[in-house]
């Protein structure tokens, strides 16, 4: 966000909300509400200004350039003022909007429209689109996108998975889309509040890997015919745009931008054990005719980067949910008495909690390091892979220990840890198509 009067005002409001004077004056709740709604209103003002700016000039296609390669691989973990502003706003949103409704959404598997509308007002899509295209991003920021995923997942991973679909699609179009693709699809995501985009990458087969796909793109007279079955597609029933991974007969992997109104697409609800807020579905594509211009990017499209950034987004979701587990079990163990003292006084319990904290911080640091290296245009594939493997292993470990620490309470829905346990299974079992 640029350093303008709106930016300075929002910064001052958030600094006031975080000061010790708020607690001394007993104004914690009002201050947090002011900070949240001020941030949301600020984003709305920026988005409206950008929209008017776009109407005054023809849309200029542009891609965000990654930073020039730095001489040192070191990275700074301190948040920028803009990142802190985004995190503060999303923390409030997750705590006051997502968390209270997470249990009900998990029970019925339906994401209310008002939550999606409130998320749009926060400007998640605009955060990854450059100013000349209607957003407010000045450069690609995997670290920022990972932070967004983490904060939303703290509220609920399933809801986060659903809300990030538009942002991930916009990010892919900005990074690799041709000028025509940017002009055609980005205005839809920016200017139509009801528009929804989703990623179709996973396939229902054993040992699935995104580098070996059964979904095919067969050359035809008018372009290509897309055929295949995708599973675990978030919000597919309401989607207007699909990003579908598929392979051509020569073995090359592409990402197709598919209009949901095309013939040959059928959707079936796929009720799973977790992330039910994402309304996961199976999407079948049967000889769907698409134009060659609907293949994402040109010769510079890097499918390895596409899958790497998807892994970073999944890591962010895992970190946020694991943080929710840790934040819940610490006060529980401090308040739960057995044999005349809190169970946290037992060494076995204290050691488990300490190990959970250590593993969580290792997940966060490795993920942020990988994202930072990508932003700095440094080699990052190895670091992203390590972060993905660590998060897949440790996320399930943290979830299991969370259930264990609650004992019998960890098995019942009265406490949310069993919900988070079910959600975190997806980190180890599925490839995510989201993009940081």
What's the pLDDT tens digit per position in 118-175?
A: 999 998 898 888 888 888 877 767 898 999 999 999 999 999 999 999 999 999 999 9
Same domain for 278 and 343, yes or no, is: no
Q: Which position has the token pair 């994202």?
A: 371
pLDDT at 3 (0 to 100): 45
208 shares its domain with 142? no
pLDDT, residue 58, reads: 46
**Helix H or strand E encompassing 417:** helix 417-429
* Residue 62 shares a structural domain with residue 157: yes
Q: Are residues 61 and 207 in the same domain?
A: no
Q: What pLDDT sits at residue 130?
A: 85
Whether residues 46 and 162 share a domain: the answer is: yes
CATH no. for residue 230?
2.40.110.10
Residue 235 lies in a domain: yes
What pLDDT, on the 0 to 100 scale, is given for residue 43? 53
434 belongs to a structural domain? no
**Position 424 in a domain:** yes
pLDDT of res. 53: 43
Q: Mapping DSSP to helix (H, G, I), strand (E, B) and coil, where does residue 295 land? A: strand
Domain final residue pick, 173, 196, 219: 196
Q: Are 394 and 169 in contact (CB under 8 A)?
A: no
Same domain, 90 and 183: yes
Q: Does residue 88 lie in a domain region?
A: yes
Predicted pLDDT of residue 57? 42
Residues 29, 172: one domain?
yes
Quick check: is 64 in a domain? yes
One domain for residues 254 and 360:
no
Per the rule left: phi > 0, alpha: psi between -120 and 50, beta: everything else, 123 is left
| Overall domain count for the chain | 3
Give the per-residue pLDDT at 138. Answer: 72
For position 413, which CATH number holds?
1.20.140.10
Kindly report the number of other CB atoms within 10 A of residue 77's CB atom: 10
Domain ranges, residue 343: 303-429
Question: Residue 162 half-sphere exposure, CB side, CA atoms within 13 Å?
Answer: 31
| Burial class of residue 98, CB neighbours in 10 A (0-12, 13-18, 19+) | buried
User: Are 30 and 161 contained in the same domain?
Assistant: yes
Q: Which residues of the chain have pLDDT under 50?
A: 1-3, 49, 52-53, 55-61, 68-71, 432
Residues 310 and 277 in one domain: no
Q: Cα-Cα-Cα-Cα dihedral of 9, 14, 15, 18, to 10°?
A: 160
Does some domain include residue 378?
Answer: yes
Q: Is residue 421 part of a domain?
A: yes
- The verdict on 156 and 14 lying in the same domain is yes
Last residue of a domain, one of 261, 294, 327: 294
**Residue 435: inside a domain, yes or no?**
no
| CA gap 393, 391 in Å, rounded | 5
Shared domain check, 188 and 214: no
Query: What's the pLDDT tens digit per position in 326-347?
Result: 999 999 999 999 888 999 999 9
């Amino acid at each position: 966000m640029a350093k303008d009067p709106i930016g300075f005002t929002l910064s001052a409001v958030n600094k006031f909300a975080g000061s010790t004077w708020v607690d001394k004056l007993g104004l914690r709740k009002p201050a947090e509400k002011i900070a949240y709604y001020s941030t949301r209103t600020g984003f709305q003002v920026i988005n409206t200004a950008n929209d008017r700016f776009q109407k005054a000039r023809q849309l200029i296609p542009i891609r965000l350039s990654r930073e020039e390669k730095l001489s040192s691989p070191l990275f700074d973990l301190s948040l920028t003022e803009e990142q802190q502003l985004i995190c503060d706003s999303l923390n409030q949103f997750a705590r006051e909007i997502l968390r209270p409704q997470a249990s009900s959404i998990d029970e019925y598997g339906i994401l209310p429209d008002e939550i999606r509308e409130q998320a749009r007002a926060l400007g998640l899509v605009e955060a990854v689109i450059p100013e000349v295209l209607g957003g407010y991003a000045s450069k690609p920021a995997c670290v920022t996108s990972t932070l967004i995923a983490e904060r939303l997942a703290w509220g609920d991973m399933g809801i986060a998975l659903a809300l990030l679909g538009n942002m991930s699609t916009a990010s892919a179009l900005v990074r690799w889309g041709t000028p025509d693709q940017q002009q055609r699809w980005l205005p839809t995501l920016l200017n139509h509040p009801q528009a929804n985009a989703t990623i179709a990458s996973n396939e229902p087969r054993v040992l699935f890997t995104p580098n070996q796909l059964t979904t095919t793109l067969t050359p035809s007279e008018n372009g290509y015919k897309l055929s295949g079955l995708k599973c675990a597609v978030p919000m597919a029933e309401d989607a207007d745009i699909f990003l579908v991974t598929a392979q051509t007969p020569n073995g090359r992997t592409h990402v197709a931008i598919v209009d949901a109104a095309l013939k040959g697409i059928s959707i079936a609800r796929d009720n799973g054990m977790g992330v039910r807020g994402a309304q996961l579905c199976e999407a079948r594509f049967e000889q769907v005719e698409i134009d060659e211009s609907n293949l994402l990017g040109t010769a510079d499209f890097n499918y390895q980067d596409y899958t790497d950034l998807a892994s970073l987004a999944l890591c962010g979701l895992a970190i946020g949910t694991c943080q929710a587990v840790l934040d819940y079990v610490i006060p529980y163990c401090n308040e739960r008495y057995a044999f005349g003292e809190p169970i946290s006084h037992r060494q076995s319990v204290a050691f488990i909690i300490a190990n959970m904290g250590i593993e969580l911080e290792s997940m966060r640091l490795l993920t942020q390091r990988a994202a930072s290296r990508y932003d700095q245009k440094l080699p990052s594939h190895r670091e992203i892979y390590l972060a993905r493997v660590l998060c897949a292993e440790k996320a399930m470990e943290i979830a299991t220990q969370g259930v264990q620490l609650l004992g019998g309470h960890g098995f019942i829905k009265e406490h949310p840890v069993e919900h988070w346990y079910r959600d975190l299974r997806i980190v180890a079992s599925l490839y995510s198509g989201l993009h940081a």
